[in-house]
Amino acid sequence: MAAQQQRDPRGVSARAVILGSVLIFANVYWIIKVEGIWHRGHPTAISLMWNVVFSLLVLIVVNALLRRLSPRWALTQGEFVTIYVLLAIASALAGHDTLQLGIPSLTFGWWFATDANRWEPLFWKHLPSWLTVGSTKLQREEVLPAFHEGDPSRLDWEHLRYFVEPTAWWCGFILALGLVLVCICVLVRRQWTEHEKLGYPIVQIPLAITEKGGAAPIWRNRLLWMGFAAAALLDIVNGLHVLYPKVPEIIVRHDRPERWIQTGPWGPPWNAMGDIWIPLYPFIIALGFFLPLDLSFSIWFFYLFRKFQQVLASAYPIRGLQYLPYVNEQSFGAWIAYFGYAIWMGRRYFADLVKRAVSGRLETDASGELVSHRVAFLGMGAGMLFIGYFCLKAGMSLAVIIPFFAFFFLLSTAISRMRAELGPPAHEMAGGMNSGELIIDFTGPKALGTNNLVMFAMFYWFTGRGYRSTPMPHQLEAFKMAEVAGVDSKRLGWVMALGFLLGGFASYMWAIYMSFQVGDNGMTMHNWGEWNQLAARVQDVSGPSYDRMGFMGFGILLSVLMMFMRTRYMWWPFHPAGYALCMNFGIEYFWTCILIAWLVKLAILRWGGYKPYHKLIPFMIGVVLGEYCVGAFWSVMSIVLGKPMYDFCPG
């Protein structure tokens, strides 16, 4: 949608960095308040985060005025890209599946311990005092009540000082993690972007609307404004319904009974599939329009395939296989296979890269890259040294640290590849898809020891719940945006580092501040699962789960078969990425939206061809922007009015 431009010397300008930094604090406050405290809105649950796009839209309007009044002050596309990257990375860190889970863990294990759950004798002595707040009686009696019950009068240095050391350590860890992830991006970027020419669908809308500093040709397209108006009208009506219930509501949300098929009355085995949601989010239908047909088909097909497996497992149970159909394990295997597929596609490039790294013959030329490949390997090493020291200091064993982070980086790379190649609207994996679960499957919890299990819970925020807001895809997409907008990628590296630093700090700052204001909240609610699971694991004496490993292997084999068939037969409709996404919880929020998008796109291409398809693209962009604009407006109004408003986005 956006053509390659000449290099923009002002791309990473001081004003863009300052403006982006200010917007980080505003956006993180917005995310923590609405998404974290109230459990509403969920901008970070979507690949193209609507809070970031809305921020761009506001700046585009302001920029249009600047071009008329004082053109030299108008922002360029490169500066918009700089701001987008800062906001995307910071928002990812503040997200629903990241630090909104990590920050409550500062105190959770201490505060919620009771005689009934026996957390104190089970793992209190293994909680690192330098990473948590509550290790002393004073902290538990003076600080934690104010934090969890809400007492603004104690929002002072006397109580906040206990959060300084843990926050500093976690922010350092976040920077090291970001360094390793961006170095991986440097190593894969050339193969995926220049050799395989992946499309990076997620960033095409931000690039299109910021072209020529926001004076993009697409803004003059009538179809865009038709789509914008239709989507905006829907959200205006539904927003007014919240304020004035007599206004009729157009129900599109997945969590409304009107959008459920309840299978409970059907009886066994059909009720094993659980309730089926029928969501109709217009902006997700529009985003699904950009997906390749085989992926959109595979998403809704494998969602139904999972439901079919659940029915089959209920109808024909097998002794000794209590977790049939082991959908989480199938998903594990599928993601591992998808990572292998990404490496296999660039096997010559990556083999040569490793060979030159081992022999010490890596080039030092960094033209077109953030840093040279030599520096990227050194950066990965430096980041992992700090992470290793951090983990060893926390009590983890080296034999666990290595596979734990290896799988996290594998999964982050696979998600980034899927985003770059296919651009799914979201990629939630909320059924126990994490490094700790994988290791426990192979060893059993008893063999790991309590120290390792405790850190699995403390690390749940980046490898645990859902991965919708995992930061690495945004880093990789930043390189693509820089290439298109002509931004100096070397300077963009400092922008990413700043995004990690400010995003992490702002998340801790606002979350701690709001917790003292309101007490336990939506973020706290989402931490019960991991800590109850920790208590269960500490007492679990079981060994390796061979049944789980077997179904993981099944997921790998089935994915490899699909990859093989895709390379041999053009008609093969099943995409392994759809299998990886749908064997775990998360697709429920939007599977019918993808089905509708698939039907519309298939019909247009079959009976009209590519010309009407391309003509309809601006309309779909308009639908996305219309919902993002009005939906974000209602979210901002919820902060102004101090109460939740219409929520247009699933999460």
Asked if residue 7 has pLDDT above 60, the reply is no
Q: What residues contact residue 109 under an 8 Å CB cut-off, 6+ apart?
A: 119, 123, 124, 127, 132, 134, 454, 457, 531, 534
425 φ, ψ (degrees, to nearest 5): -60, -30
> Could you identify the residue written with the tokens 């976690």?
170
Model confidence pLDDT, tens digit, residues 427-469: 998 777 889 999 999 999 999 999 999 999 999 999 988 899 9
Torsion of CA 364, 369, 371, 377, to 10 degrees: -80
Question: Quick one: pLDDT at residue 5?
Answer: 47
526 φ, ψ (degrees, to nearest 5): -85, 5
Neighbours of 141 (CB within 10 A): 10
Q: What is the 3-state secondary structure (H, E, C) of 390-456?
A: HHHHHCCCHHHHHHHHHHHHHHHHHHHHHHHHCCCCCCCCCCCCCHHHHHHHHHCCCCCCHHHHHHH
User: For 600, what's the count of Cα atoms within 13 Å in the CB-facing half-sphere?
Assistant: 19
Model confidence pLDDT, tens digit, residues 139-165: 999 999 999 999 999 999 999 999 999
> Could you identify the residue written with the tokens 């509708």?
596
pLDDT category at 282 given cuts 50, 70, 90 is very high
Model confidence pLDDT, tens digit, residues 36-95: 999 999 999 999 999 999 999 999 999 999 999 988 899 999 999 999 999 999 999 999
**Is residue 276 helix, strand or coil?**
strand
Model confidence pLDDT, tens digit, residues 555-590: 999 999 999 999 899 899 999 999 999 998 889 999
How many residues can be counted in the chain?
651
Neighbours of 120 (CB within 10 A): 13
Cβ burial of 614 (10 Å; 0-12, 13-18, 19+) is exposed
Report the C-alpha gap between 646 and 251 in whole angstroms.
11
139 residue type, one letter: Q
Where does residue 433 fall: left (phi above 0), alpha (psi -120 to 50 degrees), or beta otherwise? beta
Model confidence pLDDT, tens digit, residues 367-407: 667 778 888 999 999 999 999 999 999 999 999 999 999 99
Model confidence pLDDT, tens digit, residues 210-257: 999 999 999 999 999 999 999 999 999 999 999 999 999 999 999 888
**Is residue 468 helix, strand or coil?**
coil
Domain segments of the chain: what residues? 14-641
The pTM score is 0.95
Which uninterrupted H or E stretch holds 261?
strand 260-261
Asked if residue 615 has pLDDT above 90, the reply is yes
Report the C-alpha gap between 467 and 335 in whole angstroms.
13
Report the C-alpha gap between 207 and 221 in whole angstroms.
16
46 φ, ψ (degrees, to nearest 5): -110, 140
Neighbours of 518 (CB within 10 A): 13
Report the C-alpha gap between 371 and 352 in whole angstroms.
18
Report the C-alpha gap between 272 and 236 in whole angstroms.
38
pLDDT category at 4 given cuts 50, 70, 90 is very low
Q: What residues contact residue 160 under an 8 Å CB cut-off, 6+ apart?
A: 512
